[in-house]
Amino acid sequence: MLLHRLKSKRTIIQMMTILRMAMSGILTGTRGRPRRSFLSMSDAVSFNYLARVSRKNEIDVSRLIECIRNASVQGESTFDDITVKLRQMTDGEGFFLITLKEKILAQVKLTSKLLEYLRKADIPRILLECTSIPKQLGTQPEDLMIKDLNSQTRRFNIDVRVTEKSMPRIVFSRWGGEFLLSTATVTDQSGTIKLPLWNQQTSNVSIGDRLHIENARVKRFRGELQIRVGKSSTLQIVEK
C-alpha cells in the first residue's frame, strides 16, 4: 500500500512538473532563455485533470498522452484496456472520452492549442528528467468525496454532478460590489452539498453537468456546509 501511494504521488508530481515547465515555455524544444508562456489557464486545468485521471487509475502517463494524440488524428485510439475517443472536434477544441474496459474514466475538453503542444512534446524524455519529488508534496490538495468534508477541511479536489440550481440573483458585497449568485446542489456517490456559483459560473454551469473542482475549501453558511471555489480554485465542466 505504501509503495502504491509513493508511485501515485511520484506520477502526479512528474505531471505537475511538466505543467510548470510548459507554462514557463521550457518545453518548446529550445535552449537558453524560456519563451513566453503559451498555455492558457484552461489548458493548464485540462492538463492537470489528465494528470489526476492517470494517478487515480494507475495509467501510464506517457501512453495516455500518446493515445490522446493518436485519437485527435484518427478519431479513436487504444492501449491495454484504455480507449480514447474523439467525440467532437470544433475549430478551437476537441472533446475526448476516456474509458477503461468500457467504464467511463473521464470526459475532457482540450483546446487545439494544447493538442498541438501534445503532438510535439517529447513526454517520455521530460518524464525521465522529472525524477525528484519536491518537499512541498505534503501541501498538495487531497482528492475527497462529499462524505469526507467537514468544517476542518482546508484544500481538496472533488468530482460532483449538479442536480439542482437556483435562479441567479443579484447580491451586494459589504463594499458595494454587485454580483450574480446562484446556489447549486451537487452530489457524488457519498452525499450531497451546496455549491455557490458566482457571475459567469451562473450561466456556464447547468443541471446535469459533471464538475471537477480543484483546490476548493469548505465554508459554513447559515449552519450548512458548502463548497467554496475561491480565486486559487479551478472549476471545470467535464461533462454536459
Residues 155 and 63 grouped into a single domain: no
Residues 35 and 127 grouped into a single domain: yes
**Domain of 17, in residue numbers:** 2-138
Residues 62 and 88 grouped into a single domain: yes
- Evaluate if residue 153 carries a pLDDT over 80: yes
Cα(43)–Cα(186) distance, rounded to whole angstroms? 25
Half-sphere exposure of 51 (CA within 13 A, CB side): 24
Give the pLDDT score at 126.
Answer: 54
Which pLDDT tens digit goes with each residue over 71-94? Answer: 988 999 999 889 999 988 877 788
**Domain boundary at 117, 138, 159, which?**
138
This prediction has a pTM of 0.48
Sort strands 142-143 and 156-165 into parallel, antiparallel or unpaired. Answer: parallel
- Evaluate if residue 146 carries a pLDDT over 90: yes
Residues 79 and 179 grouped into a single domain: no
**pLDDT-based confidence at 181, cuts 50/70/90?**
very high
Residues 124 and 174 grouped into a single domain: no
Residues 150 and 79 grouped into a single domain: no
Residues 148 and 65 grouped into a single domain: no
The mean predicted confidence, pLDDT, of the chain is 77
Mean pLDDT computed over 234-240: 87
**pLDDT-based confidence at 235, cuts 50/70/90?**
very high
Counting beta carbons within 10 angstroms of the beta carbon of residue 176, is it exposed (0 to 12), middle (13 to 18) or buried (19 or more)? exposed
Q: What is the DSSP code string of 152-190?
A: T--SEEEEEEEEEEPPPEEEE-TTS-EEEEEEEEEEETT
Give the pLDDT score at 64.
Answer: 87
Residues 76 and 168 grouped into a single domain: no
The alpha carbon dihedral of 216, 217, 221, 223 has a sign of positive
The alpha carbon dihedral of 205, 206, 211, 217 has a sign of positive
Cα(120)–Cα(23) distance, rounded to whole angstroms? 15
CATH no. for residue 213?
2.40.50.140
Residues 9 and 109 grouped into a single domain: yes
Which pLDDT tens digit goes with each residue over 3-59? Answer: 444 445 555 555 555 555 544 444 444 444 434 344 566 676 777 777 778 877 888
Residues 54 and 109 grouped into a single domain: yes
Domains identified in the chain, total number: 2
190 vs 138: which has the higher pLDDT: 190
**Domain boundary at 120, 138, 156, which?**
138
Cα(124)–Cα(18) distance, rounded to whole angstroms? 11
**Domain boundary at 101, 116, 138, which?**
138
Residues 91 and 159 grouped into a single domain: no
**pLDDT-based confidence at 195, cuts 50/70/90?**
very high
Residues 157 and 133 grouped into a single domain: no
Give the pLDDT score at 51.
Answer: 76
Mean pLDDT computed over 216-238: 90
Counting beta carbons within 10 angstroms of the beta carbon of residue 50, is it exposed (0 to 12), middle (13 to 18) or buried (19 or more)? buried
Which pLDDT tens digit goes with each residue over 95-139? Answer: 888 998 888 888 888 888 888 877 776 666 555 544 333 444 445
